[in-house]
Copies of this chain bind each other. A is one copy, B any other.
């Protein structure tokens, strides 16, 4: 454990009223000074979006148990930038925690996730960061088990640190605590979302579409996050942000001119 009292920034993508946020703020407050900065409403599926075309607002809306809670019209990634620059004025942040997300961020969902984008944004500047997700989309999800594992992971990261420019993607299966088999370190499951864009007709006779779909898992490796979750493990996945397809660099060299 660092000797000074750690400073933790808490954010999410489900917005300031989410039950998962309250759960995570409660866990984080056991470890040091906590600042909460979140979007002012749901921002699921916002990925690494930043706000460039409208001005950003940020407002202190409550102080509870010594924790200041801010909300913004921005995205989860904006929360990290606003937290660092506007609220904390470049004070050193010891840990960013994001979530607890209502719903899974396994496989390629990681790339659509605002929860994980906030953690990845922190890792750009080498701030240790963890995104937490519970495999239950319900507003009333039971975060009991997720809180236990959030506490374990926050403790480990504050005590032992993380590799440079690496954050964690932690997914917790939606089962009672006593049914969880433990923690698996995993890699991102290969897969994609098979979308169904259902056509509806509005009151004026015009079509519109809602996105829905399901994850198609093309990968059943026992080291994958989906395997861990299906087999009742908490998936802990180290995440980095170099998207280069390194293994194909040499093959493509022939295209140089």
Contacts and interface: CB of A to CB of B under 8 A. Distances in A.
A26 to B, nearest CB: 23
Interface of A is mostly: mixed
Contact of A124 (B42, B124, B192): B192
A58 B192 CA distance: 23
Interface string A71-115: 000000110011011100000000000000000000010111000
A184 B46 contact: no
Given A209-B82, A238-B244, A245-B239, A45 B56 contact: no
Contacts of A56: 197, 208-211
Interface string A203-225: 00011111100000000000100
A170 to B, nearest CB: 11
B55 A45 contact: no
Contacts of A58: 209
Given A46-B47, A85-B196, 17 more contacts: A46-B49, A48-B48, A55-B202, A55-B208, A57-B208, A57-B209, A124-B192, A125-B192, A166-B245, A182-B256, A184-B256, A185-B249, A185-B253, A187-B246, A239-B245, A240-B244, A243-B243
A255 to B, nearest CB: 6
A192 B126 CA distance: 10
Contact of A117 (B47, B50, B86, B249): B47
Interface in A29-50: 42, 44-50
A187 B244 contact: yes
A230 interface: no
A200 to B, nearest CB: 7
A78 B237 CA distance: 27
Interface string A175-206: 00000001111111010110111011010001
